[in-house]
Amino acid sequence: MMQPDQVVTELPVTGWTGPFGPQIVQTAVSALEAGRVIVLPALAFAAEPAELSVLSADLLSGRRKNISLDRATGKIGGAAAVPAPLEALMRRFAFQADSLARGLLAPYGAALRAGRTSFRPAEIAGRSYSPRKDDRRLHIDAFPTRPLHGDRILRLFANIAPDGKARAWRVGEPFASLAARFLPSLPTPTAARARLYAMLGLTKGVRSGYDQLMLALHDTMKLDEAYQSRAPALPWSFPAGTTWMVFTDQVPHAAMAGHFALEQTFYLPVSAMASPETAPLRVLERLTGRVLA
């Protein structure tokens, strides 16, 4: 059974802007890299009344789960309509999430790159998804079209549910034990297939051995019913009005219930980490005895 102190580290952060003290910064970096979720129970992202009044799952287009903001282009995707308060909410969150991450994770400096911002208004519980897309199953994050070559995926979430509903997760075992468990059943990466996918435009660039293993791990663990029902995991609830951060490529997680979350993705090269040996890339390289990116 997983213990709470293996899974989460709470930090008494009360503002979105640093500078933060050296002690809290060091704790944040080491907890994240050790595979824990950093929880900020006293940090709420405040939506304005005009924004709250437009928040609705009806903003989603069709079957989409997320509305996303591409910061580079300013484009919002996945929305049936984009009322001005929705755009304002997402932009302000993107800005504040960036400020928080840069302050709290100051040692990463400019190596930490911001990716997409998402708004997740729909209730997770009771929806139907294909097993591979069902994030209620324990998984690590791996992107099918965007090869990362070992770069880390760091995500910052804020629960802004106007009705106060908590976001319920399950958090799983350490990456090294997950990888050791599944590696024998994963296909050996092949450069030929990776080149073909890139040529066909199925991926943005060529998948490394690392990308192939991480995608296979994502799918294999999600589709393994025995693992899903018996895997070591701890239920954890994030109350409305709280914020949390986690390396989702490293920490097995399942989002079971909740609605109205905001999320900001960041990428980080392994070389910028304080303890690079904890990166999934390095763990997989040790276990396979191969260079994977």
Exactly one of 36, 152, 170, 253 binds ligand SIN (CB under 6 A); that residue is 253
Q: Does 255 bind ligand SIN (CB under 6 A)?
A: yes
Instruction: Please name the residue ranges forming H helices in 129-186.
Output: 175-182
The contact pattern for Fe ion, residues 111-150, with x = CB under 5 A and - = no contact, is: ------------------------------x---------
Determine the interface stretch with ligand SIN among 20-28, 185-193, 248-256, 266-274 (rule: CB under 6 A): 248-256
Which two tokens mark 264? 């900001």
Give strand ranges (E) for the chain.
Answer: 8-10, 37-40, 67-70, 75-77, 113-120, 152-159, 167-172, 233-238, 243-247, 253-257, 261-268
Distance CA 254, CA 287 (A): 25
**The tokens of 178 are what?**
């997950």
Q: By rule CB under 6 A, what string of x and - marks binding of each residue 164-193 to ligand SIN?
A: ---x--------------------------
Q: In angstroms, give the least distance from the CB of 239 to ligand SIN.
A: 13
Say which entry of Fe ion, ligand SIN, none residue 261 contacts (CB below 5 to 8 A, set by partner kind). ligand SIN
Q: Which does 39 bind (CB under 5 to 8 A by kind): Fe ion, ligand SIN, none?
A: none
List all residues 6 or more positions away from 192 whose beta carbon is below 8 Å from its beta carbon: none
Beta carbon of residue 149, minimum distance to Fe ion (angstroms, whole number): 20
Whole-angstrom distance, CA of residue 129 vs CA of residue 138: 14
The residue behind tokens 């994770």 is: 105
Residue 290 β-bridge partners: none
Tell me, by CB under 6 A, how many residues bind ligand SIN: 9
Q: Which is nearer to Fe ion, 101 or 171 (CB)?
A: 171
Nearer to ligand SIN, 207 or 259 (CB): 259
User: Considering the rule CB under 6 A, would residue 152 count as an interface residue with ligand SIN?
Assistant: no
255 touches which of ligand SIN, Fe ion, none (CB within 5 to 8 A by kind)? ligand SIN
Q: How far is the CB of 159 from ligand SIN (least distance, A)?
A: 9
> Could you give the CA distance from residue 149 to residue 249 in angstroms, rounded to a whole number?
12
248 binds ligand SIN (CB under 6 A): yes
Phi (first) and psi of residue 146, to 5 degrees:
-120, 90
Q: CA-to-CA distance for 7 and 120, rounded, in angstroms?
A: 23
Residues found near ligand SIN in the complex (CB under 6 A): 120, 135, 141, 157, 167, 248, 253, 255, 261
